[in-house]
Amino acid sequence: MSKGQSIVRSSLCGLIAFGMLWAVAESGMAQAATVEERLERLEQKTLSASPGAEQETGNMVFFRGGGAWATSDRSGEVFTDVFGFQGNNSGDSGYYVGAGLDLVLTRDIWDLFPGTWVLGEIGVEFKRFDSKRVTQAVPSTCAAAGVPTCSVRKEKVQITMLTVNVAPKIMFMEGSRFRPWIIPAGLDFHVISPPSDDTTVLDIGVQFGVGAQFRVWKALHLGVDGRFHLATGQTDTTNNFGTAGAYFGIAF
């Protein structure tokens, strides 16, 4: 091989090696840029937008309480006041206590609205409406039962309801300490007590809600909410009611 050919061959080898090194370096820079972009997107989704705010997970356990108001009382029923024989158990207002879980489903409504979350709420709630002392047995009932010692008594008959619900909760203003939310429609399962005149206790329905919460410190939140529950009347009674109250939540 001549000296000129050797020089050309060495030059070609050098160019090939340089090209390979450049390709490797370019690939490394592209991968670094991709990783950097992913980290930036992740930070935009997980870090709060306001200065000094802390990162939120969204999942929460909460405890609720407040006032409850029925749209119709249960007076004049056999198990509530013996058809109003002596005193009507006509209370339609009372209180509720409850607890539940909020679980994050999406932080941007599945890429439709950035910063707007959808949570899944699972809750349980006990309600007690104003109850009165009413007659629990009438003379004709005693005679029909054939019990001579049976007497007409007045006792307080408690009007209560237990509700279990599963509902979507749309929460706005990601990154803010103050976050309003709505429940467009959720599913309710009700158990009433005492039983209705046809001796049934189970009902189903839908609920609508609106509220807001404020992050007090780290994972601790305080909130308020109002809801209306529309039942289907499976018990042959009107079981619609509304609630308004406050809640305390712990994020996790």
pLDDT tens per residue, range 71-123:
999 988 888 887 766 678 788 999 999 999 999 999 999 999 999 999 999 99
pLDDT tens readout for residues 205-236 = 999 999 999 999 999 999 999 999 999 999 99
- Count helices and strands (H / E) in the chain: 3, 10
How far is residue 103 from each of residues 4, 66, 136, 137, 174, measured CA to CA in Å?
75, 23, 45, 48, 15
Supply the pLDDT for residue 131. Answer: 77
CA dist 229 and 35 (Å) reads: 48
pLDDT surpassing 50 at residue 48: no
- Give pLDDT, residue 50: 45
Residue 156's pLDDT is what? Answer: 76
Average pLDDT, the chain: 83
**Residue keyed to tokens 């709420």:** 121
Answer yes or no: are the C-beta atoms of 185 and 206 closer than 8 Å. yes
Identify the CA nearest to 249 among candidates 116, 56, 123, 102: 102
191-204 b/e (C-beta count within 10 Å ≥ 16 → b): ebebbbbeeebebe
Q: Lowest-pLDDT range, 27-31, 51-55, 188-192?
A: 51-55
Is the CA virtual torsion 77, 82, 83, 86 positive or negative? negative
Query: Residue 1: pLDDT above 80?
Result: no
In the predicted model, what is the mean pLDDT of residues 40-49?
Answer: 52
Return the percentage of the chain with pLDDT > 70, whole number: 68
pLDDT at 47: 44
Q: How confident is the model at residue 20 (pLDDT cuts 50, 70, 90)?
A: low
